[in-house]
Structure 1
C-alpha cells in the first residue's frame, strides 16, 4: 500500500503568513503540521509516499528531504496548479500504479493516527473508505449525505445548502477503482476536479464506498483559529523538559519544554509551553498553549495562546494572545505617539486592537 500526501495548496486562509511560507510547514508545537501526517503514515506501516507539490515545492522538499528521517521513501509529484484533489490523483497515476493507497491532506491533523484505519481497509478492501465528522459549518467542506442504513448516497463540495452536517475528513483510502472515477468526471464550477465528484462516480457505478464517522479530534489547519486550536491540543500532551538555561529569578510552572540553547531570564513561563532552541526570553510572561520557535527574542512582554515562528522579536508589548506571529517579525511599541497604533501590514492581514 502506498500513500499520496497533498501539499500543493496556496493556503489563502493563512495569508499573509503563506505569501512566503508553505501552509503545510506552519509549526504546531514547533513541528510542521505536515510532519505529523508523515509520521502517522509511517506508523501505519506504509513506506512509499508520493507528495504532490505546487509553488512551494522547494520549501517542502528542503523540509522533508528524501523521507529517510521518517522511515519513508518519498517521491515528489509536481502539480502545475491547484486543480482539485481528484486532479492530484490523476497526475499521480504513474506513481500509484494499481496499488491501494491512502490519500492524506498535508494540512490536516488527526489525533491517534491512521494505523487502525489502514489495517481495517486492508482486511475488507472496499473500493473507497472515507472519514466523516460533524461540523458546525458544513458549507466550508465536502459534505456527505447518508441513507437510513448509514450508507453514503450523495456528496457535494462546499454546498451553499448542505444536505447534512457531515464533512469529509482529509484522509481517504482507495483501491485502483478511483483511477477510472477521476477520468470519468468533469471540472466543477470552481474549475477543479473534485474528489467528492469522484466518490459520487464510484457510488453511481455500484462501487463499494465505506464511511466511518469519527468523534475524535480532527482539524483542517487552514486558518489561524484552527492552527491555534491544534497547537493547544498537541501541547496538552507534551511532557516538559528543560535542556536550556533558566536563571534563579525565573519561574517555570507546569509542562514546559525548553530546548537546548534557549535562555530564560527573569521571566514566568506557565505551561503547556514549548520554547525553541536558542530563543532568549527576558523579563516576560509566556502563558499556556504557546509555542515559541527557535531564534526568537522576547523581552518585557506577555504572550499567551499563540504561535511565534522562528526569528521573531517581541519587545515591550504588554499583552499578546490568540495570535500567529510570522518568521522574523518584529513587534515593538510605537515610540513617542501617545494612544496611537503604528502598523506595517501585508496584504490580507487581520489585526484586532483594543481601543
Structure 2
C-alpha cells in the first residue's frame, strides 16, 4: 500500500526552537522506515526526517491512522504510510519489507506500547514490545539483509533500571546498565511490566545482531530516553488526555488548587531532543553500536509545580502549590544517571527543564484557548 500524495515541502512544520542536523549526502533520495509513526516521539522524528530531505515510509495500525497522519503532514510528497495492525505478530513487518525492502536503507523502530491502563501485562506490554522488535529484525534479515544499513530502536531508560531501585540514591545507571527484572517477576504492576518490556526488547535486538552478524549488513543503535516531555507536534483541541508522559504536566495545568497530585520523580528529556538524537544515531558513524542515554536532568512533580506557578501567573491560585522548594529533596533520594558518553557522542546541548516545561504548558494553554 502506498498512500503518497503530492504537496509542498513548506507544509512540514519545523520543530519548535530546534535546529535540524542535515547530512545532505545521505538524505538525498534515502528512504527511512519509521514504525509506529503516529506516536508522540515518532511524529517529531518523521517531521525532522522530512525537513532534512529524507523519503519516509511510516507505519500505523489502521487505515484511519494512516490517513490522519498523512493529512497532518498535508500529504507531503516524501511521506507514505503502510498498515501494520499488530506488532505482536511475529510476521508483522513481512509485507512492508517484501514491498519496500530493496528501497529502505534506514529503519527507525519506535513502535512499542507505553501505557499503564492495562491488566494483562503479558498480552498488552511484554509480548508486543518483544515480538515487535523480533518481527522487524527478522523481516529485514529475510527481505532487506543487504539493503538496510542502519537500524535505530527506541528503547527507554526503563531498560536500564529495575523499578525496585528507582528510589535508591546509591544507584547510578549509565549506558552499560540493564534492567535485571525477569519475565515472571515483572508482572506485578503495569509500570514494572512496561519497564521490563523495554529491557527484553532491546536485549533481543542486540542478541539478534550478534547471532546474525554474517547475514545482515546493518549497524544497530538504541535510543534510551527517560520521561519525555515537550510540545506535541500537532496539538489537538479535542484531545483532553495526552500521551503517558505529557499527561503528567497536562494534569497539573488542568488541576484545581485543592487537587492532590500523584508525586512522581525521574529523569526528563525534551521530545525535540529525542527526535534529533534518532537522526544523529544513524547519521553519525560513532553512534553505531551504541546505547544512547537521553537524559536532561531529574524532575519531581514539585519541580513542575514550582516552575508552572512561577512562569504562568494566570494559573497561580488555580492550580496546586504543593510544598515549594522541596522537589530537590525527592531528587536527592532517587537513583542517578550518568550519560556523559552519550552527550559526547551526540554533541549537542539538551533543552533544560524550565524551557521544556514552559513549552509544554504554553502549548496546552493555547490549545485549550486559555491564552
Instruction: Compute the TM-score of the two structures, normalised by the length of structure 2.
Output: 0.34
Instruction: Compute the TM-score of the two structures, normalised by the length of structure 1.
Output: 0.35
Q: Which has the higher contact order (CA 8 A, sep 6+)?
A: 2
Greater strand fraction, Structure 1 or Structure 2: 1
Greater helix fraction, Structure 1 or Structure 2: 2
Larger radius of gyration: 1
